[in-house]
Amino acid sequence: MASQKDQQHFLVLGAGVIGLATSLVLSHAYPSAKITVVAKHFPGDRSIEYASPWAGANWSSMAHDNGPLEKYDEVTFHRFGELIDGKRVFGCQTLKSGETQFVDSVNGGGNEAGLGRMGMWGVFDAPIEETGILTEETGKVWYDQLVGGLRKLGQGELPKGATFGFEYPSVFRINTQVYLQWYFRSPKRIDPTTTYVFPRPLGGGVILGGSRQDNDWSEEWDEELGQDIMKRCCELCPELGKPENLQIISRNVGLRPSRKGGPRIETEMRKWKVPVVHCYGHAGAGYQSSWGTAERVLELVQKTQAPNSKL
């Protein structure tokens, strides 16, 4: 960042969803500032190192810290809603998009920015007390009111192996090829063999997954794992049909920038002459926390720009 006497200049490292969302937030707060994005990969690139284009890209909070991570997701939820409803958010404008059904997301749907609403099921194979999604003060799911109320699934609605589940009345899915991108239907978010089905809006097909293998950076496709994923997805979502009848468009391996302890969002001032604000390590929650973490970065930047700042 340049001194206050000069034109402000912000340098953003990385052009994934976090870097680009942060750049938009900064440009709104400092319209006369110069903002430079430096990155190895930009939208349109298909490198496995570029995590954002390979994401499912939806809002389905995995935060369970009763703290800042939940706040980041909450802020992002509201921003996506404003984008869909045609309100201006940091210089963006979209057309209004109404409620859609599961089949609509496969055939089309969403607005010209690639955003839309959809109902969703979330099912779990562990007791609710072990998932970390309950608020300490109330004992209720922390995002219950945020999404407009959750309906608990009956035993007859739960897939095999599920302990409990909810129906979300309205969540967001994004097409990453239009907006930096995704959507969800019925995830099973528990362990390294988490199963998910992501219908893509705007006729983009359906993404099936998944697995989580920490510290594995291989680009090689695991055929045995792929067959297991298709089997699990078809069991979870019978509408897909049989695994052997699925039409496979492509097989992808996606990397996620995880960090022990969660994302790092803080200011550092050491050997550099300017303050550095870190914002990385979002793992698989980049899209659904993007606007919230970007606004937190803005708060930290504003503190460094304050006249009485010690930085």
Mark the binding-site residues for D-dopa, compressed into ranges: 196, 256, 284
CB 16 within 8 A of CB 180: yes
What CA–CA distances, in Å, run from 284 to 51, 226, 277, 296, 309? 9, 19, 21, 19, 34
- What residues are designated binding site? 147, 196, 256, 284
For residue 236, count other CB atoms closer than 10 A to its CB: 22
Q: How many CB atoms lie within 10 A of CB 222?
A: 15
Q: How far apart are CA 19 and CA 294, in angstroms?
A: 8
- CA gap 142, 77 in Å, rounded: 13
Strands (E), the chain: 9-13, 34-38, 115-124, 151-152, 164-174, 196-199, 206-209, 264-268, 276-280
Residues making up the binding site for FAD: 147
Query: Do the beta carbons of residue 211 and residue 225 sit within 8 Å?
Result: yes
